[in-house]
Copies of this chain bind each other. A is one copy, B any other.
Amino acid sequence: MQLNQRTVFIVSDSTGITAETFSHSVLSQFSKSFEFQQIREPFVTTDEKAKAVAKKINEIAEREKNPPIVFSTLVKQDILAYVKESNCVFLDIFGTCVSQLESALGAKSEPTIGMSHLSASSEAYRNRIEAINFSLAHDDGQFIHGLKEADVILVGVSRCGKTPTSLYLAMQYAIKAANFPLIPEDFERGSLPKTLQPFRNKLFGLSIQPDRLSEVRNERRPNSRYATLEQCLYEVAEAERLMRREGIEWLSTTTKSIEEISTTVLQILGLNKSSY
């Protein structure tokens, strides 16, 4: 079946990242019959820029004989008006919720441009960059002296997803996430690495299905012993046994995205950090 084509504009006075993520969720509900082509218009902060976007929308509407869909987070009414009056299906993504809240809270909203992300000069933003640097410096068991400052220490066998998860936790939640590999020596000794023992309450385990692990390791080091299914079966079984015995909470990353893993880590460790 031929899908219907529609052009989608993401129009924002800031980065438009919130609007874009939002639009993906909404549009996915129409993906059986439509295919969407996206155009991003960030930093639309002046009348001139808004007029240029409106012009582009009108041109595409004419060419495609269909009005484009516009996801807007514009807050200034005069700028918004230019875009809204173009030939489009205009979706003011914050508008409805803001109106509902005005009634419920009995207060007027005060729209400010570019409030979606914290300003780069705020302390919160600096904490976030610090967390990214921390997670990079404490990747893969490096630089163990900072572990006492970590909010969480991810443990698991090599290539089970610790590094991308640590970076996501840092980037999205300003969480100082170290990660530490569990290796055959640990399994032979039958205990956690000594370095980790003082930090038991910060540990969270990641595991993975052995066949998937073997696939991932083969991409990295083709035809190595490290990548054999046999080795992966052994390491995963031992790592899970160790985590069970040590009472470390863990989850399998096999079918989970870094967003899902990170959300679960926050939930289980009770880390009440706000998202960016």
Contacts and interface: CB of A to CB of B under 8 A. Distances in A.
Interface string A35-46: 000101011000
B257 A125 contact: yes
Contacts of A91: 97, 100-101
Q: How many copies does the complex hold?
A: 2
Given A100-B89, A168-B171, A105 B30 contact: yes
Contacts of A242: none
A116 B17 CA distance: 13
Interface stretch (A78-86, A145-153, A258-266): A258-266
Contact of A42 (B15, B24, B73, B267): B267
A43 B129 CA distance: 28
Interface in A224-271: 253-260, 262-264, 266-267
Contacts of A73: 25
Contacts of A77: none
A156 to B, nearest CB: 15
A16 B263 contact: yes
Contact of A98 (B26, B116, B118): B26
A223 interface: no
Given A120-B255, A172-B17, A34 B107 contact: yes
Contact of A29 (B96, B115, B129, B259): B115
A111 interface: yes
B97 A93 contact: yes
Nearest to A10: B275
A2 interface: no
15 contacts: A15-B260, A16-B263, A17-B275, A20-B274, A29-B94, A29-B112, A34-B105, A38-B274, A42-B267, A43-B267, A69-B104, A91-B101, A117-B257, A121-B255, A125-B257
Q: Which 9 A-B pairs have the closest CB atoms?
A: A29-B109, A28-B115, A15-B263, A89-B104, A96-B96, A120-B257, A20-B275, A25-B116, A15-B259
